[in-house]
C-alpha cells in the first residue's frame, strides 16, 4: 500500500486557493481552511497465494511511529492495529503541546476531517436499505429547488463525487494561500459559523466543474447536501442520525460530531500550522462549514471499531455494502466509492478513507475480510520528503507487517 499526496479536484480554471503546508513529497496538504488532500494508497502487488495475515510486531511499529516525529514532519502521531476483534497494538509519539512538551495522552482524540464522510455515507446507505432513499434518486426529489440541475444529479453521484457541483472550499472566502490570507483565517475564518444552506449557496453561485456523471471532482458540498437529505428524510440532523445509528450502537465513546463547538473534548494533542514566525496553534476551530464532509472527532480505538463493524457487515446489509464498494476511477491514481476507497496492498485488499482538517490528518483502512484494521492520526508540521518516507513505512508495517511487504515484487 503506497501513500501518496493527491489533489481533491481538477478543473482548468481552478483557483490555487489553498495554503500548502506540505513540501513536494509530503504526506499531507491543507485544502481551504481545513480539509486535507487525501492520503491515498495506490495499487500494489496482489497478495501471494495462501499468505497469512501478518503478525503484529509492537517494537517495530513503535520504532516506525517515532521515526515520523523524529524526522520533524509531525508534532504528534497516534496509531492502532486491530486484529480479529482485539487491539493488537496502540502507540503514540511526539508531544501533545509544543509549548509545554507534554506527551501525547493515551487514547487521545483528534479531528478526523473527511473520514466523517464514511460515517455519513453509512447512514445514507442504511436509509437506502430501508427504502427511504434511492441511490438513483435525483437530488431535486429530496431538496427541490436547492441545486441547479438537481433533477440530473443523483444521490449516488453525491456520494462518489461525480456530481460536478463546485467545492465550497475553493471559494475565495476560504482562501488561506499566503500569509495574509492565512492570518485572516486564523483571526476570523476559523471562528465563523456556517449553516449548511450557507455553503450550498456559496457552491451553487459558482459554475459546476462538469456535467453529472462525466467525471470525478472532489467536492465537500456533496456531503453537505447529503446531510440535508438525511434531515429531510428522517426529521433529524445528520449528526443525530450518526449518533443514533452508529456511535451509540457501537459504543464509540470518543466519537462526536461537534456542530459549532470549537473544542476537542477529552484528552488530545494540539494541531498546528507552520508560519514564518513559528507554529500557530489551530486546535480550536469551528468546523460547522464542513459538517458531514469533515467535522468529526474520534480516536484510534473508535475508528478501528467502526471500520471493523462496517466491513464486517454489522452496519450495512450485503447489498448496500457492495454498493458502497463500487469504485469510480478518479483519474488521479486511486479509486473512490460511496464514502469508501479501495486500498490494494501486497497483503490483501484494504478499504477505508483518509482526510483531515487544519492541524490533523487521518488514515482509516481495514482488510476486506474485516479481520485487520489500521488507523493513523498525524499532526502535520514542517513536512518534508522524509515525512512521506517514514509515514509510508509506518503504514506498510501496520498493514502488512514490514515496510517492504507492501511493495510489488520485482520480476
pLDDT in tens, 34-59: 323 334 444 444 444 445 556 789 99
DSSP reduced 3-state for 83: strand
CATH 3.20.20.220 fits 2-400, yes or no: no
For position 40, what pLDDT does the model report?
A: 44
For position 56, what pLDDT does the model report?
A: 86
CA of residue 58 relative to chain centroid, distance = 26
For position 108, what pLDDT does the model report?
A: 97
Per-residue pLDDT tens for 270-292?
999 988 888 999 999 999 999 99
For position 239, what pLDDT does the model report?
A: 98
Closest-CA residue to 179 (of 278, 113, 270): 278
Question: In sequence order, which ranges of 28-92 are alpha helices (DSSP H)?
Answer: 58-70
Q: How far apart are CA 377 and CA 210, in angstroms?
A: 34
Contact 221, 336 (CB under 8 A): no
Boundaries of every domain in the chain: 2-400
For position 383, what pLDDT does the model report?
A: 77
CA of residue 167 relative to chain centroid, distance = 16
For 121, how many CA atoms within 13 A lie in the half-sphere containing its CB?
Answer: 33
Q: How far apart are CA 138 and CA 152, in angstroms?
A: 6
The pTM (predicted TM-score) of the whole model is: 0.89
For position 348, what pLDDT does the model report?
A: 85
Q: Which listed residue (75, 114, 203, 341) is catalytic?
A: 114
114 belongs to the catalytic site: yes
**Segments of the chain with pLDDT less than 50:** 1-50, 405-411
Q: How far apart are CA 409 and CA 234, in angstroms?
A: 50
Amino acid at each position: 500500500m503506497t501513500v501518496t499526496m493527491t489533489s481533491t479536484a481538477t478543473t482548468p480554471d481552478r483557483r490555487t486557493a489553498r495554503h500548502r503546508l506540505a513540501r513536494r513529497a509530503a504526506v499531507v496538504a491543507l485544502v481551504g481552511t481545513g480539509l486535507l488532500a487525501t492520503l491515498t494508497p495506490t495499487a500494489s502487488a496482489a497478495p501471494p497465494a495462501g499468505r497469512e495475515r501478518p503478525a503484529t510486531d509492537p517494537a517495530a511499529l513503535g520504532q516506525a511511529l517515532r521515526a515520523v516525529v523524529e524526522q520533524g514532519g509531525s508534532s504528534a502521531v497516534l496509531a492502532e492495529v486491530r486484529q480479529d476483534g482485539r487491539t493488537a497494538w496502540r502507540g503514540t509519539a511526539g508531544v501533545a503541546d509544543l509549548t509545554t512538551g507534554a506527551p501525547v495522552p493515551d487514547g487521545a482524540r483528534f479531528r478526523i476531517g473527511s473520514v466523517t464522510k464514511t460515517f455519513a455515507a453509512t447512514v445514507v446507505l442504511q436509509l437506502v436499505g430501508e427504502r427511504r432513499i434511492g441511490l438513483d434518486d435525483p437530488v431535486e426529489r429530496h431538496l427541490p429547488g436547492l441545486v441547479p440541475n438537481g433533477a440530473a444529479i443523483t444521490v449516488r453521484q453525491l456520494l462518489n463525487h461525480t456530481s460536478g457541483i463546485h467545492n465550497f472550499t475553493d471559494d475565495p472566502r476560504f482562501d488561506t494561500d499566503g500569509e495574509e490570507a492565512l492570518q485572516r483565517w486564523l483571526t476570523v475564518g476559523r471562528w465563523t459559523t456556517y449553516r449548511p444552506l450557507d455553503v450550498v449557496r456559496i457552491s451553487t453561485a459558482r459554475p459546476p466543474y462538469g456535467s453529472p456523471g462525466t467525471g470525478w471532482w472532489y467536492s465537500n458540498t456533496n456531503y453537505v447536501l447529503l446531510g440535508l437529505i438525511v434531515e429531510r428524510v428522517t426529521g433529524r440532523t445528520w449528526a443525530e442520525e450518526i449518533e443514533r445509528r452508529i456511535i451509540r450502537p457501537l459504543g464509540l465513546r470518543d466519537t462526536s460530531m461537534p456542530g459549532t463547538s470549537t473544542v476537542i473534548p477529552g484528552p488530545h494533542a494540539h494541531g498546528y500550522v507552520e508560519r514564518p514566525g513559528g507554529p500557530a496553534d489551530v486546535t480550536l476551530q469551528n468546523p460547522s462549514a464542513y459538517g458531514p464532509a469533515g467535522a468529526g472527532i474520534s480516536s484510534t480505538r473508535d475508528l478501528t471499531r467502526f471500520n471493523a463493524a462496517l466491513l464486517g457487515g454489522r452496519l450495512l446489509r450485503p447489498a448496500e455494502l457492495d454498493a458502497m464498494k463500487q469504485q469510480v476511477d478518479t483519474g488521479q491514481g486511486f479509486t473512490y466509492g460511496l464514502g469508501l476507497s479501495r486500498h490494494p496492498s501486497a497483503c490483501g485488499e484494504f478499504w477505508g478513507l483518509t482526510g483531515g482538517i487544519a492541524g490533523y490528518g487521518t488514515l482509516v483502512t481495514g482488510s476486506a475480510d474485516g479481520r485487520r484494521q489500521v488507523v493513523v492520526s498525524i499532526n502535520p508540521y514542517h513536512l518534508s520528503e522524509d515525512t512521506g518516507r517514514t509515514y509510508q513505512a509506518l503504514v506498510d508495517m501496520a498493514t502488512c507487517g514490514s515496510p517492504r511487504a507492501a511493495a510489488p515484487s520485482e520480476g
